[in-house]
Amino acid sequence: MRGCFGERRWRIALGTVAAVLLTTALPAVALPVPDSSGDQLIYVYDARTNRVPFLSVANPSDDTIFLDVAFYDATLNSLGGGVIQLASAANRVIDPTRDFNGVADGKAGIAVFTPVTSATDRTPVVPGEPLVGGFTLANTALGSGFGQNPFGRIAVTGSGSRAAVGSTVDGSTVRYESFGPGILTIPVYFNPQTLESPDIDGNRVFLASFNDSYGSTFTITAAAQNLTATYFDGSGQQLAANPVSVNGLLLSDLEALAGVTLNSSGKVFFSGANDTANFFGLFSQSLGTFASGQLMPAANIVP
């Protein structure tokens, strides 16, 4: 285990809401937000009309690994996928519209990359080193896109330490960390009146909520969240506080979730997440060909 684990791993316990994962006595270990590498990687993709996603993954270990690549739609119904092999230091770029017979073409959702025993045995295992990668979400109507690292987490034992390389991730003695921020925030959004229309991704809000399911294969299922979206303008004046329901992957925009006209820059807090499911968010905004996107950070309170 490399030294970077100590630095990034033990922030888990600092003010983090503990998540209770599915029907097991193993103590849960929750990250406030996903890491940029992990023993499992999770991606958001959007392969709908005028949208193009690319998912990349790299194996930084000395060993050959096998990865189960599983695509889910926005309701987290399984679309299929397959197992790929990566030699030491190898990488792979996956196009959801073409690879695995294009199972995700025309869809938007979540892709989960899980190291497994072999090409024919999809039992999840701990890889030699945490995986790394990236993904791109592009819009051909705008001629713009953005990208970032996937959402990573490591496999841990009951003590919260990374499990031994080669261990089976069974959900009982070894399981993946959960994502448990409690509150997520969009720190700053630009005036939506100056952005492109949300119909063509002028601004985008992705909120994901899911449960882990362990067995002979690893899967995820949709989990319901009843949130409150609290909007503030740039001066700190509250603009709106609306209920928001998430059950799987919510693809929306600032205006739809606010329920009021937004004519200035501001910020949003998504609060009220339960601690029994994984929860994370992603936000992007675009002015013509200029776009940016980011993982939503966690917050302790709503001002």
pLDDT tens digits, one per residue of 116-135: 999 999 999 999 999 999 99
What is the pairing mode between strands 266-271 and 203-213? unpaired
Global pTM value:
0.90
pLDDT tens digits, one per residue of 263-297: 999 999 999 999 899 999 999 999 989 999 999 99
User: Are 158 and 217 in the same domain?
Assistant: no
Q: Are 194 and 285 in contact (CB under 8 A)?
A: no
User: Are 158 and 188 in the same domain?
Assistant: no
pLDDT tens digits, one per residue of 17-28: 333 333 344 556
pLDDT tens digits, one per residue of 72-95: 999 999 999 999 999 999 999 999
Q: Are 280 and 296 in contact (CB under 8 A)?
A: yes
- Domain of residue 284: give its range: 183-299
Domain limit, last residue, from 179, 209, 240 = 179
237: closest CA among 211, 208, 260?
260
Structure confidence at residue 28 (pLDDT):
60
pLDDT tens digits, one per residue of 29-88: 899 999 999 999 999 999 999 999 999 999 999 999 999 999 999 999 999 999 999 999
Mean pLDDT computed over 199-223: 97
Structure confidence at residue 29 (pLDDT):
82
Residue with more model confidence, 173 or 2: 173
Contacts 24+ apart (CB under 8 A), 220-226: 220/72, 220/76, 220/110, 220/112, 220/278, 221/76, 222/75, 222/76, 222/247, 222/248, 223/247, 223/248, 223/276, 223/277, 223/278, 224/277, 225/272, 225/273, 225/274, 225/277, 225/279, 226/272
CATH number at residue 67: 2.60.290.11
User: Are 37 and 156 in the same domain?
Assistant: yes
What CA–CA distance (Å, rounded) separates 268 from 276?
23
User: Are 153 and 101 in the same domain?
Assistant: yes
What CA–CA distance (Å, rounded) separates 157 from 155?
7
Domain limit, last residue, from 179, 209, 232 = 179
Q: Are 71 and 152 in contact (CB under 8 A)?
A: no
Mean pLDDT computed over 202-212: 97
User: Are 213 and 156 in the same domain?
Assistant: no
56: closest CA among 110, 93, 95?
93
The total domain count for the chain is 2
